[in-house]
């Protein structure tokens, strides 16, 4: 996902820019598949074994079952042992978007190639290459999320089962096994000033960095991960299809950690986790360094039962502390400088109910707030953005008794609603009297999408 306002450049977004960002947000909310038919072919599993909704992806990420979580932790290497399978899959997403303001569009919005699967018992991965419709049927090809793994399975440490692995990935949190972190669920709050761990933030790290983590699963329940990231050179970002205006800047002394306790009770699953990311960032790259630290926690619960009725709940709360490198002056009040320190806060609460792993509903409440800053957050000094996502979907295939396990399909209807933007529900860009006014609800959008994967 992308984002609306650059917190380092004090400006109002153009309407066209804002609408295109919203369209992208909706597109990703509806079509970001994780149920890769290549994995189904490799394992003999149905998509529904790993995903609560048999297609995965969509409005709240892959919605992994505990079995899917373990498949990811095991480096995507598990197999039915029945010969080599080509580790590739395709996805096409078409959609009809109806924004509250502006024209409706119907188009092929995304075409994706997945290179996903095992190399051998210890090496596997996930690579997504996407062609995104940027309007007028022109497509921008980008490298999306990457997660390459080396894993040592079936170890015994202190008499307990253990798994040790290394992941090389380009999106902090994407590799996480639990359905909670924004990069993993693709469901971070839309924001005018979000956290580094939120891919919806401006100058996001998502898909513009490269990093490696060492991780371990101990006694089936305890998960730990420690790693580091560095941003890709702007030339590399450009070659990978990313606009350099979204450069996350130069990063140094970057550390990432993640710890979680996960309990699989077969009919139920719950997890409690903490996450952290700290870096010194130069944006622009020749500018001074600022310190940015994210600290968060998350809770998830799944009722799985016999898989007839599945309920998944998650709550994620990430606080970002900033020591700004510069203190811009107010253009209005002489001598007033922006604060030297600040904090932003992203929270996502999400519930997904799935019936027969075919019919589902997703409800999310997304909030992004920050400390008051009259200079950085124009026009009201308040970055508060509050939104909701409602999505219903139907997945006809992808189960054990489906007539094919080689292809899958999903039809979804998604409504994205804003109740607050820039700290206000009315006149969110502070238009002067007589000028056209944009209210938060004018950012709302309704979208119907059809996705096929094979």
CB of 389 to another protein, least distance (A): 29
Is residue 247 part of the contact set for another protein (CB under 8 A)? no
**The tokens of 250 are what?**
């130069």
Residue number with CB closer to another protein (81 or 434): 81
CA nearest neighbour of 398 among 307, 306, 270, 304: 307
Per DSSP, helices labelled H in 51-118 are 66-73
Is residue 267 part of the contact set for another protein (CB under 8 A)? yes
Is residue 307 part of the contact set for another protein (CB under 8 A)? yes
Is residue 80 part of the contact set for another protein (CB under 8 A)? yes
Residue number with CB closer to another protein (11 or 401): 401
Contact, 275 vs 299, CB < 8 A? no
CA nearest neighbour of 96 among 414, 434, 373, 436: 414
Is residue 45 part of the contact set for another protein (CB under 8 A)? yes
Rounded distance, CA 65 to CA 271, Å?
12
Rounded distance, CA 280 to CA 289, Å?
6
Binding part of the chain for another protein, among 119-127, 130-138, 247-255, 304-312 by CB under 8 A, reads: 304-312
Is residue 263 part of the contact set for another protein (CB under 8 A)? no
**The tokens of 20 are what?**
């295109």
Location of structure tokens 């060492």: 214
Is residue 266 part of the contact set for another protein (CB under 8 A)? yes
Binders in 327-386 for another protein, by CB under 8 A: none
Binders in 389-408 for another protein, by CB under 8 A: 400-401
CB of 341 to another protein, least distance (A): 49
Interface pick for another protein out of 79, 109, 231, 385 (rule CB under 8 A): 79
Residue number with CB closer to another protein (44 or 224): 44
Count of residues of this chain found to bind another protein when the rule CB under 8 A is applied? 19
One DSSP character per residue, 166-220 reads EEEESSTTTT-SSTTSHHHHT-PPP-SS--TT-TTSTT--TTTEEEEEEEEEETT
101's CB contacts (< 8 A; 6+ apart) are 19, 438, 442
Location of structure tokens 């007539």: 403
CB of 338 to another protein, least distance (A): 53
Is residue 43 part of the contact set for another protein (CB under 8 A)? yes
Is residue 110 part of the contact set for another protein (CB under 8 A)? no
Interface pick for another protein out of 1, 63, 304, 378 (rule CB under 8 A): 304
- Strand 359-370 relative to strand 385-394: parallel, antiparallel, unpaired? antiparallel
CA nearest neighbour of 143 among 114, 120, 175: 114
Is residue 306 part of the contact set for another protein (CB under 8 A)? yes
CB of 222 to another protein, least distance (A): 17
Residue number with CB closer to another protein (401 or 433): 401
Residue number with CB closer to another protein (11 or 266): 266
220's CB contacts (< 8 A; 6+ apart) are 161, 264
* Interface with another protein (CB under 8 A): 43-45, 49, 65, 67, 78-82, 266-267, 304-307, 400-401
């Amino acid at each position: 996902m992308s984002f609306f306002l650059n917190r380092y450049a004090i400006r109002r977004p153009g309407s066209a820019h804002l609408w295109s960002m919203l369209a992208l947000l909706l597109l990703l909310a509806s079509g970001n598949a994780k149920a890769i038919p290549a994995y189904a072919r490799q394992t003999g599993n149905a998509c529904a074994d790993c995903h609560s909704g048999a297609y995965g992806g969509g409005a709240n990420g892959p919605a992994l079952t505990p079995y899917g979580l373990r498949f990811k932790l095991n480096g995507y290497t598990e197999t039915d042992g029945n010969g080599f399978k080509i580790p590739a899959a395709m996805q096409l997403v078409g959609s009809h978007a109806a924004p509250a303001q502006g024209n409706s569009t119907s188009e092929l919005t995304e075409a994706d190639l997945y290179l996903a699967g095992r190399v051998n018992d210890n090496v596997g991965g996930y690579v997504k290459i996407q062609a995104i419709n940027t309007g007028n049927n022109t497509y921008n090809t980008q490298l999306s999320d990457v997660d390459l793994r080396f894993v040592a399975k079936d170890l015994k440490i202190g008499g307990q089962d253990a798994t040790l692995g290394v992941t090389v990935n380009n999106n902090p949190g994407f590799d996480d096994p639990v359905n909670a972190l924004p990069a993993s669920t693709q469901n971070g709050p839309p924001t005018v000033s979000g956290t580094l761990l939120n891919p919806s933030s401006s100058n996001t790290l998502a898909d513009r960095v490269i990093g490696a983590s060492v991780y371990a699963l101990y006694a089936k329940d305890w998960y730990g991960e420690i790693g580091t990231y560095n941003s890709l050179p702007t030339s590399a970002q450009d070659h990978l299809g990313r606009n350099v205006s979204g450069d996350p800047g130069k990063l140094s002394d970057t550390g990432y950690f993640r710890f979680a306790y996960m309990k699989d009770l077969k009919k139920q699953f719950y997890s409690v986790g903490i996450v952290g990311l700290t870096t010194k960032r130069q944006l622009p790259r020749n500018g001074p360094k600022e310190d940015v630290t994210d600290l968060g926690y998350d809770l998830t619960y799944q009722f799985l039962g016999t898989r007839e009725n599945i309920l998944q709940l998650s709550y994620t709360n990430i606080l970002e502390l900033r020591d700004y490198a510069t203190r811009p002056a107010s253009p209005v009040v002489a001598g007033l400088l922006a604060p030297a320190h600040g904090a932003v806060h992203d929270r996502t609460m999400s519930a997904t109910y799935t019936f027969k792993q075919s019919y589902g509903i997703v409800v999310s409440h997304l909030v992004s707030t920050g400390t008051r800053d009259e200079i950085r957050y124009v026009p009201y000094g308040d970055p508060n953005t509050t939104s909701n996502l409602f999505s219903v979907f139907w997945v006809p295939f992808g189960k054990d008794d489906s007539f094919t396990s080689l292809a899958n399909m999903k039809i979804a209807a998604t409504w994205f609603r804003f109740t607050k933007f820039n700290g206000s529900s009315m006149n969110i860009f502070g238009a002067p009297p007589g000028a056209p006014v944009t209210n938060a609800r004018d950012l709302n959008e309704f979208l119907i999408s059809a996705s096929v994967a094979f």
